[in-house]
Structure 1
Amino acid sequence: MTQTLSPGSAKATPATPAPPAPPAYSPRRTIAILAVILTGQFMAVLDASIVNVAIPSIRTSLHTSGSALQLIVAGYVIAYAVLLVTGARLGDRFTQRRTFIAGLALFTIASLACGLAWNEDALIVFRFLQGVGAAAMVPQIMTLIQRNFTGNARAKALSTYSAIISGGMVVGQVAGGLIVNADLWGSSWRGVFLVNVPIGIVLLLLAPRVLPSDSPRFDRKLDLAGLAMLTVSVLLLVLPLVLGHDQDWPLWTWITLGASVVGVAAFIVIERAVAARGGEPLFAQRVLQAPGLVLTAATLFVIMATFGGWMFVMAIHLQSTLGYTALHAGLLFIPMGVTFALASLNWERIPHRFQAIMIPLGLVLGATTMVTLGMMLRTGGDFGPLPLTIFAIQGIGFGLAFSPLMTRTLAKIPMSLAADASGILVTSVQLGIVVGIACFGTVFLGLVGATGLSAAHALGTTAIAEGVAVLAAAALSARASR
């Protein structure tokens, strides 16, 4: 994309004024700020995966089709992904504090609506609104960290932020199982959405008191034409991938997939035109030229496509194929979540000279364990101690890759580009999850036959496809982490 957009210049893409030097906060205030914004981040990430374990309960309760289930999972992430950069711009325009609070309020209200949804269509719509709220809230988190912390405090905050983005997906699997199994007051799957409501209310009470009220405001221009075309292009790609299997791939699905390519080309043309007339395109050249940003975004896209697809497929396999309860399935993700968190939070202890090579090696380990696990489970056997151990090792591999890759790249980004850069990176993460669920979910569901054994074989084949994709991410990361 960097080669197709027009060359940036001061006239074509006016630089955002550099923000003032970060203020000096007391340790107590620093902890309070991080606690509020990172809890918001955790909620947003959690909701991208917590639904996975609740899928069988939703299917039974609302009588949903396979494609509707994918839309319930992916609809949230679609809105979240395509609106992130715009959310970052709104934060610069109205301050990060106000935009974070507004996004949090919408996210909390939409979570309540999801928990009260009466059919699959209502749930899909409310999930989309959840994504809109997350898109307004999440970009402010990275910008607040970039603009309010320096030195070691900033590095630690970025590392924790990265760990929450990746580890939250694993925790979501566990939390979903616990909540569905608890079935408090007969809530069943509804509890995975309603749990956000009390947490959101507490954050809404704390945020106005804790978050900095003196954030700078910039007259950022919104690229509405680019946003509209990006949204259309993503929908043209994802909808046929999600709906095609259930409808036996009619002609419209292939036409739509082809149209998505045209949509991407039109998006590039629009972005060049916006830059040429002095506007601010969603993906401005000056931001894309930040050190390592494009390669990191591409690598994160592939990583999260495989990771998101794997979480979705494993959740279905454990409950639908092996017949495990939601609690049993959720608990099986704990070892992976623990090793992921440990690797994500402690990778800086590894000598600096080894950190660049650590990232691709971690992904190679992730690919190897993913394929090995798929081969072990393809016979339809139980998820015993050995698969559990391999699953835990897989967490180490991904933990040694995702968090350090994002942290090392963001540490190089100038503070004046913090909002747009964070929006682009998190957009790539969320789009990766959308495409991963759509693609690998479709591969798995398309291969599943009528018997449990055929479903197990489908898991093995899907694992091989995902392993190849992770190896591609390893190759990309070898360049991005230099």
Structure 2
Amino acid sequence: MTQTTDLRGTIPERGSRNGSGGLALAVILLGQFMAILDVNIVNVALPTMRADLRASGAGLQLVVAGYVISYAVLLITGARLGGIAGHRRLYQLGLASFTLASLACGLAPSTGTLVVCRFLQGAGAAMLTPQVMSMIQRDFTGAARGRALGFYSAVIAGGIVVGQAAGGLLVAADLFGTGWRTVFLVNVPIGAALLLAGPRVLPRDEPAPRTRPLRAELDLPGVLTLAPAVLLLVVPLIMGHELGWPLWGWASLGASAAFAAAFVAVERRVAAAGGRPLVSPRVLRAPLLVPACVAIVFGPATWSSFLFTTTLHLQGDLRMSPLESGLAFVPCVTAFGLVGLNWQRLPARWQRRAVPAGFAVAGAGYLFVGPLAGGGLAYEALTAAIGFGLGVMPIIMTTALRHVSPGDAADASGLLLTLMQLAQVIGIATAGTLFLSLAESGGSTRHAEYGTGWALAGTVLLGAVCALSLARDRAPARP
């Protein structure tokens, strides 16, 4: 059976109804685009959402974090379910779940309902997104795979760019009086169209032999200890400020530590029994993976925090409309995307040094967030510098995965993506709480930008220190 490398014919005939690789790629990447879009599109709608639903600051943080929590915790499980049940089947199931949850978000009558629906939306994304990379790896070869991965990177960067601007446009348009609800409802017609197109253009799944029981393959004990560990950590961090740090919050943090310890013990037991733990000790022994895991936490944590808190400032003290605040992020996220798309053009020795250098640039930018928080061209140039510096984050994953064996690549990439998503959750919970506390005590969001900027600078500079080991990488990649 032949398999060409032209983009229009990269899918094997046995797995495609019409052999249309370009259409298949468009379908899966549009699904990926929606999932990435919904991480950021909600940011500029937060102040409008707060007024309409009378949501608290903690409620807004949960609206943003709820999606990322379920997405992060279930990401590796979604990838493994795709390998067991079939990537096309899981993509379609995840897309259907995501679309229905988006409809529920758009119709939510209260903050509590919206938060629950965001958790469900994130679970749908966790089923959908791992299948995209798997289908690219399975159905594209040679130069066509390289082009497909290039489009994939463009979609990731584009989702960030478009998310901020599109959120402002949709809220400002106020279509049919829907206000903020449009940022969720826009997914419904797109998702429905993709669901209709999927069975026609995506290759059929071939049965995969199963060597382990389903429970061992999915590591359900790991999921059942990791999920409460994350929730018990994040919820008190988000709710504690507004509730005066009650006793249950501190008890929750202690319980989170206990569940985290249980998760480590469970993973060791699963590995010893010959199962597939979510975090494999063998994967962690790959050169540079541990420092990459540490470094990849700091960048996304500050990035998500910056987008969340700056939106509140732009629509707070600066009195910007949702459209104006969305467009204000365009220089920042465009710089982020440009670096993410073009870093491979750099010589190899510069690529290794780009991560600590980029984090240092972002740290310097965060230091001036407060002094320049009055807006204007200088402020937008500053945010572009922050986006430029943090655009190096894909280099971390690429450098780490160079040293991972092909058999462990899926688990290693899943671990890095999970840590990246969890870092965003913790960043929003901690920096968001700091920002809201400072805004309340100082009486202005500009005052809050000062303290938050310093905290973000310190965090990302720690990431720069951790990334120094990546810059010294000279070991050959695994074949």
TM-score, normalised to structure 2, is 0.90
Cα deviations by residue, 1:65-123 (Å, 9 ceiling, x for unpaired): 11111111111111111001111110110111111111011000100111011111111
Equivalent pair of 1:139/1:419 in contact (CA under 8 Å): no
Q: Structure 2 CA distance, aligned partners of 1:152 and 1:368?
A: 39
Matched, 1:161 2:152: yes
The alpha-carbon deviation at position 281 of structure 1 amounts to: 1.2
In structure 2, what residue type is equivalent to 1:395?
G
Cα distance, 1:291 vs structure 2: 4.4
Deviations 1:283-324 (A, max 9, x none): 122333344333323222221111001100001110022111
Structure 1 counterpart of 2:86: 95
- Within the alignment, does 1:253 sit opposite 2:249 as a pair? yes
Relative distance call for 1:464 and 1:69 in structure 2 (3 A) is same
Residue from 72, 88, 100 that aligns with 2:63: 72
Verify: 1:39 aligned to 2:42, yes or no: no
Question: Post-superposition shift, 1:154?
Answer: 3.7
User: 1-side partners of 2:160 and 2:181: how far apart?
Assistant: 18
**What one-letter code is carried by the residue in structure 2 that aligns with 1:324?**
M
Correspondence for 2:116: 125
User: Which residue in the other structure is 1:386 paired with?
Assistant: 378
Q: In structure 2, what is the Cα distance between the partners aligned to 1:422 and 1:218?
A: 23
Percent identity over the alignment is: 49
Q: Do the aligned partners of 1:296 and 1:480 also contact (CA within 8 Å) in 2?
A: yes
1:224 aligns with 2:220: yes
Matched residue, 1:352: 348
Contact 1:145 1:157 in 2 (8 A): yes
CA distance in 2: counterparts of 1:473 and 1:153, whole angstroms? 34
> Counterpart of 1:60?
51
Residue of 391, 402, 424 corresponding to 2:393? 402
Give unpaired runs (5+ residues) of structure 2: 10-20, 474-479
Which of 463, 469, 479 matches 1:479? Answer: 469
For 1:216 and 1:368, locate their aligned partners in 2 and report how far apart those are by CA, in whole Å.
52
Partner SS for 1:245: coil
Is contact 2:5–2:141 with CA below 8 Å preserved after alignment?
no
Count of residues in Structure 1 that have an aligned counterpart in Structure 2: 456
User: Structure 1 residues 259 and 22, CA, compared in 2 at 3 Å: closer, same or farther?
Assistant: farther
**Residue 292 (structure 2) aligned to one of 275, 283, 296:** 296
Contact 2:361-2:389 within 8 A present in 1 as well: yes
Partner secondary structure for residue 449 of structure 1: helix
CA RMSD of aligned residues (A): 2.1
Q: Give the Å deviation of 1:22.
A: 11
- Superposition deviation, residue 33 in structure 1: 3.4
Q: Give, in whole Å, the separation in 2 of the partners of 1:43 and 1:391.
A: 24
Q: Work out whether residues 162 and 403 of structure 1, in 8 Å CA contact, stay in contact via their aligned partners in 2.
A: no
Alignment partner of 1:282 is 2:282: no
Which of residues 357, 360, 363 in structure 1 aligns to 2:359? 363
- Range 262-271 or range 38-47, more displaced: 38-47
Please say if 1:462 is aligned against 2:452. yes
Over 3 Å counting, the alpha-carbon distance change for 1:259 and 1:478 in structure 2 is: same
**Distance change >3 Å, CA 398–CA 112, structure 1 → 2:** same
Aligned-partner SS, 1:448: helix
* Whole-Å separation in 2 of the counterparts to 1:176 and 1:261: 36
Q: 1:307 aligns with which of 295, 303, 307?
A: 303
1:186 and 2:166 aligned: no
Unaligned runs of 5+ in 1: 1-20
1:273 matched residue in structure 2: 269
Contact 2:397 2:413 in 1 (8 A): no
Pairs within 5 Å for 1:225-244: 225-244=221-240
Q: Which has the higher contact order (CA 8 A, sep 6+)?
A: 1
Cα distance, 1:131–1:196 mapped onto 2, change above 3 Å = same
CA contact (8 A) 2:363 2:460 kept: yes
